[in-house]
Structures are given as structure tokens and as C-alpha cells.
Structure 1
Amino acid sequence: MTSTQISVTPQAPVRPLKVAGASLIGTAIEWYDYFIYGMAAAIVFGPLFFPSFSSIAGTLAAFATFSVGFVARPIGGVVMGHFGDRIGRKSMLVLSLMLMGGATVGIGLLPTYATIGVWAPILLVTLRFIQGIGVGGEWGGAVLMAVEHAPANRKGFYGSFPQMGVPGGLILANLVFLGVSTSLSEEAFLAWGWRIPFLASAVMVLMGLVIRFTITESPDFEKVKDTHRDQRLPIVTVLRENLREVLLSAGAFIGINTVGYIFMAYLLSYSTKVLGMSKTLVLVFTLVASFVWLIVIPVASMLSDRYGRRRLLVTGSVGLTVWAAALFPLIDLGNPAVMMIALLGTAVFMGIVYGPIAALFTELFSAEVRYSGASLGYQIGSVLGGGLAPTVAAALYASWGSSAPISVYLTAVTLLSLLCVIAITRKVRAAA
């Protein structure tokens, strides 16, 4: 080779669908881990970890530990967002999956209050906190990998793949919990059967890690990684230059996240303990509605690529506000067919909002601080939304003996999100 010759190593072509598919699988595994905790909180954690409490107080305590994971999520988002913007998206996705999987298996091995006393709920809260750290860093990395690999005119569609991981994880969690709870007696399920969904996570996490090690780093990060080495703290840059975008994105996410966690966690407890409905029936209904949610997400995201994020998100947010007000009045009728309709309607409007919001959040921030900015907005919204929702709903019912205050609560937070969606989409459209 002469001095004028240059050796060029051809780069493998980027395959957006492969990256998006890997994001979907990894995210579904992480959310499976996160959701089985919510189901266990609704069914078994009260009597097993808080046995000295009354039934209502035990449920409140179990959902309070559920909320601890949300407190940790912004910490995970900030820490992994920092390193994701500094050293790359891929490594943070691997770390988040390892944290989540380790904590989930740990919960499956955890002794109950009857064995180790007060240390049982303390360790439960600690492991839940670690779960929150893991999932806090997961969302931003998975969405960025999918969106930053995507063609410019299809970012909404590819961004919907990690979004599908949420109902995908919920479906998987429901199937496993349904299978275990229906194949065992109530006594066996409470004694040891509840541990199976947590321990099964070990196999799924190993599969997810293998998949995540095969994907390439984000091209957007590769373009900027050598030009912002002097940016020591991306989160400081975000808060200094993009505080309004962070707050608006958090507000836009509060409504869908609140309704989502009422749908995914609290309704199981409410419909079985308050309305006396069959646990198996409610799990099946939730499973069917989750499939609808899964289907609507990519459809709405494709439509947002064609007709614009604003049109889809405002339409979905209006529908979600109206449906949130009607959800508990419909559930309270105690009619299984009406309950199924209520859950299906909720799933449709959640899908319309949740799908396009991934691409929207990435469009708010430059590549240098995108992981930090998108993660922080999303996770603040999750704390104020889903992190409080099951606990607030349980407390409202315990205080009033009625679901009416819960309906007021849901209507208020979805209306707030609608206003933030209008403001944030107007800003993105003006900048386009």
C-alpha cells in the first residue's frame, strides 16, 4: 500500500427494523419484570409482607412499595441519560436490563414477613428501588436507538417498537400470572407459586442481553460523540437550555401514565376486592385489552408520520380525557360485558397517545443531550402519573368508599396532559 492509499473498512448497512425489533424485545422483558410486581402488589404482597395490617391498609402498603420504583426512575433516567449521552446508548441498555433482571429474581427469592420479620418489607422496597433505577434508564435508550436508526419520514413508526414493549410486557406478565394462578390452588399460589413469574425473569433477561449485544450503536450518537467531549454534565445543559421542554413533556405524559397504571395495576385489586369479580376474569379482560393496546400503538404512530404528531396526539388526548371520566362509572356497573368495553376503549386511546409520544420527545432535544432530556421528562411524568396513581386511587376509595373521587382524579390529570400536549406539539410544529 502506498502512502496515498487509504484503507476503508466498509460499514455494514444499518437495518432499522432489526434495531427496532431488538428494542421491542428488550423493553418487553424489562416491562414484564416491572409489571409482575404490580400484579403481585395487587394480589399477594399485602398478606405476605404486611400481615399485621388490615386488608385495606395492607393493599395501601403494597401499592406504596409499588410507588417506590417510580421514585427511583428519574434517578435511573438522569444517571443513565448522562452516560448515554457521554459514552453511548447501547451500553446503558445492557446495564438497565441487568439491574432489572437481578432485582426481579431477587424478589422471587425473598423470604416473607413470617420468616424474617420486618426485614422482608425493607428488602422488598430496596429491590423495587433497583427495579426503578433499571427501568428509568431503559426507556430513553430503547426509544433513541429505534428513532435514531430510523429514516426521517418513519421515525414515529420505528419509535413505536419500544412503546409496544409496554403492552407486550404486560401481556407476558398476565399470561404467566394467569397460568400460575389458575394451575395452582389459592394456598399453593400464596405459599410459593407467586415466585415463579419473578424467577422466570432470569431466562428472559439472558435472552435479552444476547439480543442487545448484537445491535449497533446509534448513528446520531456516533456523529456527535467526538464533538461534545467538553460537555461534562448533559443534564445541566438540559436544565439550563431545555427546562420548558422537560416540564411540558413531563406534563404531557402524566395523563397517559396515570390511566395506564390504573388499568394495569389498580383495577385488578379494585374489581376483585371491591366488586367481588373473578381474578381470572379480570386478568383475561386485561389481557385482551392489552392486545388491542399493542395493535393501536404502531398504527397510530404510522398515522403520525403521515398526518403529523399534533393531530394524532391531540385527538387521542381528548378521547383519553373523556374515557377516563367514564371508566369507573362503567366498571362499577359490575357487568362483565360493560367492563370489557370500558377496558377496550381505554386501550384504544392509550395506544393513540402512547405510540407517537416517543418520536415527539426525541424531536424536542438535540442529539448531544437527547438521552438526558427525553428520559428526564418521561420519568418525571411517570413519578407524578403512574407512580402515584395506584396509591392515590386506593387512598381515595379508602377515604370516601366510592370511586367518584378516583374519576375526578383521572379527569384532572388527563386534562392537564391535554393542555401540555397542545403546547408541546405547537412548539415542535413551529420549529419544523
Structure 2
Amino acid sequence: MSTTSGARDPQPGMLRIIATSSIGTMLEYYDFFVYVALTSTLTHLFLPSTDRTVATMAGVGTFGIAYVARPLGTIIFSPMADRIGRKKTFVITLAIMGIATVGIGCLPTYAMAGLLAPIGLVTLRVVQGIALGGEYGSAVVYVMEHAPAGRKGMATSVLQSTASLGLLLALAIVSALKFALDASAFESWGWRVPFLISAPIVAVATWIRLGMTETPVFAEMKQAGRLSKSPLQDTLSSATSWKAILVAMFGAQGGTSVSLYTSIVYMLYFLQNVLKVEPSRANLCLGIAIVVAAPLYPVFGRLSDAIGRSRVMLIGIVLWILAAYPAFAGIRTNALAGGWAMVTLLVALLAVLTAMIMAPLPAFIAECFPPQSRTTGFGLSQQLGNVLFGGFLPLISLSLVNLTGNPLAGVGYSIVSLLPCLAVTYFWGLRQDRLIRQRSHEVQCASRANAGQLPVR
């Protein structure tokens, strides 16, 4: 297959490929983030405590536990995607996520089952983390390997918006239920609905994904007998792969994790738990911000195709660092004064800057690894970075607020966390960009010289 014409003429089915991959990934993130939207309710029902602060910390900590499980999902499923196919793997992970989510909706509460209730909740959150750890890398590589040269950043950037869009869907459904039901009905059975409706949602998403075809890159490797027998071993035994993992972990992925989980996840806790904003109003502010930022992901992704992945991410990280503290301070001031339009504007500003950091990331990481172990390398880079910088960020930030009494202490932690990510992206990320462009040029030259050679895309 020639790789030279793709830059001029995108595949006719590319939009369908992006749409079907994004819908499935968004629904999987919905399953994962329903917990965030219902943290206060689930904390009360499953982790009761006479100390409200302790209960909140326990609830937010349970969110972080799922992130510890995500690298395990990568170890299990990412090599599978490199051995048996990208499509087959993310059908499996979607089904596992759906089963775990429905399981949470069926759990007895602490009042019904005592300690078995929180044990069951934590166990199913771990299963969700394992599923998501194997899902996202498979979806990104699937889209990236279908995308034409010169458009991979734009194509994969759409998938980056699915995390916040999944949270948006969760917030919308939870808000609608709270509006339709009185407090006692919602606490009695209404909270289960967002989890239980995952069953038909996952069924539809699975049906969509079963109709998708395998990537041409994987199909050609399989036909040529070039599939790796042990992608995990190949990745971990390669000094080049380790360098790429570390650059991504402490650079671009770290920056993405900090900005996303501060601007989207911690923001919700900041509004509801620190500023005591009524949940429906907090959900509305965050929901509008997500809607504003979502269309900009492909814009920033396309920009990364033009000027380089790391350059776009560097600009985003610098702007986010400069804007974060004034934005959180302004949100606090305006929330206390009832200036909700300004609160929403400032939340949206951080969401947009987060999109600028996130959009180029999937193409940047995926391009660092050979196709035989691409999903494995991507998954390790992303999930280890998420654990290190993102999973427990909301818990640490809220703990700092409670320990210091300073409502802005949490965002201060995020800013400090971003500084090493900025340095790594500047000193090594830009160099990695140059190596990727050089490798891509060599591959295109080889493809022109020998049309029968397997393309490495």
C-alpha cells in the first residue's frame, strides 16, 4: 500500500472510522466518569462517616484507585491488540467496562450489606480501570493507522475530546435525574439509573465496533508474518522504547494528566466541595466549558500536523501555567459574588488550554513506537503517566486545601506538577518530534522506491 497519496486524498471512510471509534471510547469514558458525577451520593451510601471531610476524601480516593489498575489493563490488553488486532481488543474492553458499570448499579449499599458494599464498589472500580487501561490505546492506534499522512494529529485528536465528553454525558444524565426526582427517590434508587443504562449503551457501541474493519497496517503485518509474538517484552527490552516512554510519561502525558484532571475533574470537586456551589449549577458551568472546548481538539490536532506536536503542547502548557492560578482565584471570587457568567468563562478558558495540550498527544506517543508494539508502547506511556500525575491529583489537591485552609492550594500543586512536564517536553519532546519527522520521511522514500514493501505508518 502506498503511503504517499494519503496526505492529499484522505480515505473515504475516515470520518466514519473516527466517529465509530470516538463514540465507543466516549461511552467507555462515560462509564468511568459516572462515578465522578455521583461521588457525593456514592460516598454517603457506600463510605459513611460522621466526618464529612473524611467521607469526601474516601470517595475521591476511590476514584484514584481505578487509576492504579489502569497499567494492569495496559499490560493485559495492549499486547493483545498488537498480537490479535486493535479492533478485537477494544470490543473486549468495552464489554468488560459495561459489565463492571452495570455491576456498580446493582450493588447493595452499606446499610444493606455493611463492609461488603465498599469492597464491592472498590473491586468494580478496579475492573473499570483495567478495562479503560486497555481501551484507549487500542482506539488511538486504530484511528492513527487508518489516517492519511499529514492528518494523523487531527484524526487522533478527536479521541482526546471523548474523556471530557464522556464526563459531560454523565453530568447531563445525573442532572436530569436529580431534576426529575426528589432527593429521597434519587438516593433510594435514582443513583442506580446512570450505571444501569450503560447496558443498552454498551450493547449499541459493541454492535457498532463489531462492524469495523481491522487497520490496514495490522492486516499487512499479519499477512507478511511480521506480528510480534511478545510486544510487551519487545517494548521493555528496547532502550529506544524506554526513552520514548519516559519522555511521554514525564513530558506530554504528564502535562495532559495534570491539566485534564485539574481543569475537568478537580474543577467539579473544587466547585462543589470547596466553594459549596450547588451541584446542578456546578455541572452546568463545567458542561458549558466542555462544549466550548470540544470542537477545538481537531483544530489543535491539525495545528500539530503543521508545526509539530511538541510545539503545540509546549504553548498550551505555558499558557495553562500562567492562567491557572488567576483563573481559580477568579472562579472563587465570582462564585461567592454570584457572577456565574464569569465563572463559566474562566472554567471554559482552562478547558480550552487543556484541549491545546491534549490534542496532539495521541499522535505524538503513537508515532514513537513501531507498529509491531505500538499499542503496548502507547498504553504504557499513557497509563504510567496517568498514575503518576493524574489519578490521585484530585485527592491530593483537596487534601492540601483541607490541610492549609487555603482554597487555592490545590491549583498550586497542579502548577508545580506541570513544571517538570514543561522541561521534559522542551528539552526532549522537541527532539523526539524531529526524530519522528525524519523517520516518517525515510519511510515515505522507501515506499516510493519499493511499492511492495510493508509501510510503517
Question: How many Å apart are 1:248 and its aligned residue?
Answer: 1.2
In the alignment, which of 164, 169, 173 is matched to residue 166 of structure 2? 169
Q: What aligned pairs does 1:57-206 form with structure 2 within 5 A after superposition?
A: 57-206=54-203
1:22 to 2:26 alignment: no
Query: Residue in 1 aligned with 2:272?
Result: 272
Q: CA deviation at 1:95?
A: 0.7
Q: Following superposition of structure 1 onto structure 2, how do residues 242-281 of structure 1 map, counting pairs within 5 Å?
A: 242-251=241-250, 252-281=252-281
Q: What is the letter of the counterpart of residue 346 of structure 1?
A: L
Give, as a single letter, the amino acid of the residue that structure 2 aligns with 1:273: N
2:432 to 415, 427, 431: 427
Q: Match of 2:311? A: 311
User: Are the aligned partners of 2:272 and 2:278 in contact in 1 as well (CA < 8 Å)?
Assistant: yes
Runs of 4 or more consecutive aligned structure 1 residues displaced over 3 Å after TM superposition: 226-232
- State the match for 2:366 in structure 1: 362
Aligned equivalents of 1:428 and 1:225: distance in 2? 28
Secondary structure of residue in 2 paired with 1:368: helix
Q: Using the TM superposition, give the Cα deviation of residue 417 of structure 1 relative to its aligned residue in structure 2, in angstroms.
A: 1.9
CA gap of 1:32–1:230, structure 2 versus 1, over 3 A, is closer
* TM-score, reference length from structure 2: 0.88
**For 1:378-401, what per-residue CA distance to the aligned partner results, in whole angstroms no more than 9, with x for missing partners?**
111111122111111121122112
Q: Report the Cα offset of residue 431 of structure 1.
A: 4.0
> 1:255, 1:410 within 8 Å by CA — same for their partners in 2?
no
Distance 1:263-1:185 versus aligned 2 partners, 3 A rule? farther
- The alpha-carbon deviation at position 239 of structure 1 amounts to 2.0
CA distance in 2, matches of 1:318, 1:52: 41
Q: Read off the aligned partner of 2:402 and give its amino acid letter.
A: A
Does the CA contact (< 8 Å) of 1:78 and 1:235 recur in 2?
yes
Cα distance, 1:308 vs structure 2: 2.4
Q: Which of 369, 385, 390 is residue 386 of structure 1 equivalent to? A: 390
Q: Which amino acid aligns with 1:390?
A: P
Letter paired with 2:424: C
Deviates more, 1:184-193 or 1:17-26: 184-193
Note the C-alpha offset of 1:358: 1.1
Contact persistence 1:23–1:146 (CA under 8 A): yes
Contact preservation (8 Å) 2:300, 2:359: yes
- The one-letter amino acid of 1:24's match is S
Alignment counterpart, residue 219 of structure 1, candidates 202, 216, 221: 216
Q: Measure how far apart 1:160 and its partner are.
A: 1.7
Contact 1:167 1:293 in 2 (8 A): no
Contact in 1 for aligned 2:298/2:359 (Cα 8 Å):
yes
Pairwise mapping of residues 305-344 of structure 1 onto structure 2 (< 5 A)?
Answer: 305-333=305-333, 334=335, 335-344=339-348
Q: 2:432 is matched by which residue type in structure 1?
A: K
Q: How does 1:387-406 map to 2 (within 5 A)?
A: 387-406=391-410
Moved more, 335-344 or 93-102: 335-344
- Cα distance in 2 between the residues matched to 1:161 and 1:223: 26
Size of the alignment, in residue pairs?
Answer: 419
Question: Any conservation in 1 of the 2:292–2:348 contact (CA below 8 Å)?
Answer: yes
Aligned to 1:196, what secondary structure does the other structure show?
helix
Do 1:324 and 1:414's aligned partners in 2 also have CA atoms closer than 8 Å? no
**Counterpart in 2 of 1:7?**
none
Contact 2:255 2:357 in 1 (8 A): no
Q: Are residue 353 (structure 1) and residue 350 (structure 2) matched? A: no
- Offset of residue 165 of structure 1: 1.6
CA distance in 2, matches of 1:230, 1:90: 15
Q: Which amino acid is the alignment partner of residue 336 of structure 1?
A: W
Residue segments in structure 2 that go unaligned for 5+ positions in a row: 1-10, 438-457
| CA deviation map 1:292-322 (0-9, x unaligned) | 2211111111122223223322111211222
2:153 and 2:304 in contact (8 A); partners too: yes
Indicate if the aligned counterparts of 1:246 and 1:376 stay in contact, CA closer than 8 A: yes
CA 1:24–1:244: 2 relative to 1, 3 Å = same
Partner residue of 1:4?
Answer: none
Greater displacement, 107-116 / 324-333? 324-333
CA contact (8 A) 2:308 2:433 kept: no
Tell me by how many angstroms 1:129 deviates: 0.4
**How far off its partner does 1:228 sit?**
6.2
Amino acid in structure 2 at the alignment position of 1:179: A
- Check 1:378–1:359 CA distance in 2 against 1; reply closer, same or farther (3 A cut): same
Residue 50 (1) aligns with residue 55 (2): no
**Are the structure 2 counterparts of residues 299 and 220 from structure 1 closer, same or farther at C-alpha, using a change threshold of 3 Å?**
same
Provide the identity percentage: 35
Specify the SS of the correspondent of 1:158: helix
Deviations 1:378-429 (CA, angstroms, capped at 9, x unpaired): 1111111221111111211221121333122110122222222222232221
- Show the counterpart of 2:205: 208
CA contact (8 A) 1:363 1:428 kept: no
CA distance, structure 2, for counterparts of residue 413 and residue 227 of structure 1? 45
Conserved? CA contact 1:146–1:161, under 8 Å: no
Q: CA deviation at 1:265?
A: 2.9
Q: CA deviation at 1:327?
A: 3.6
CA separation in 2, counterparts of 1:64 and 1:310?
A: 32
Moved more, 66-75 or 414-423: 414-423
Residues in 2 aligned to 1:346 and 1:409: alpha-carbon distance in whole angstroms: 16
> What is the match of residue 288 of structure 2?
288
Matches of 1:413 and 1:83, distance apart in 2: 33
TM-score normalised by structure 1 residue count: 0.93
For the 8 Å contact 1:147–1:359, the answer to whether it is kept is yes
Check whether the contact 2:309–2:433 (CA below 8 A) recurs between aligned residues: no
Amino acid at match of 1:318: V
Inter-partner Cα distance in structure 2 for 1:26 and 1:416: 33
Corresponding residue SS for 1:151: coil
Offset of residue 68 of structure 1: 1.1
How far apart, CA to CA, are the structure 2 residues paired with 1:418 and 1:268?
25
For 1:340, give the aligned amino acid. Answer: T
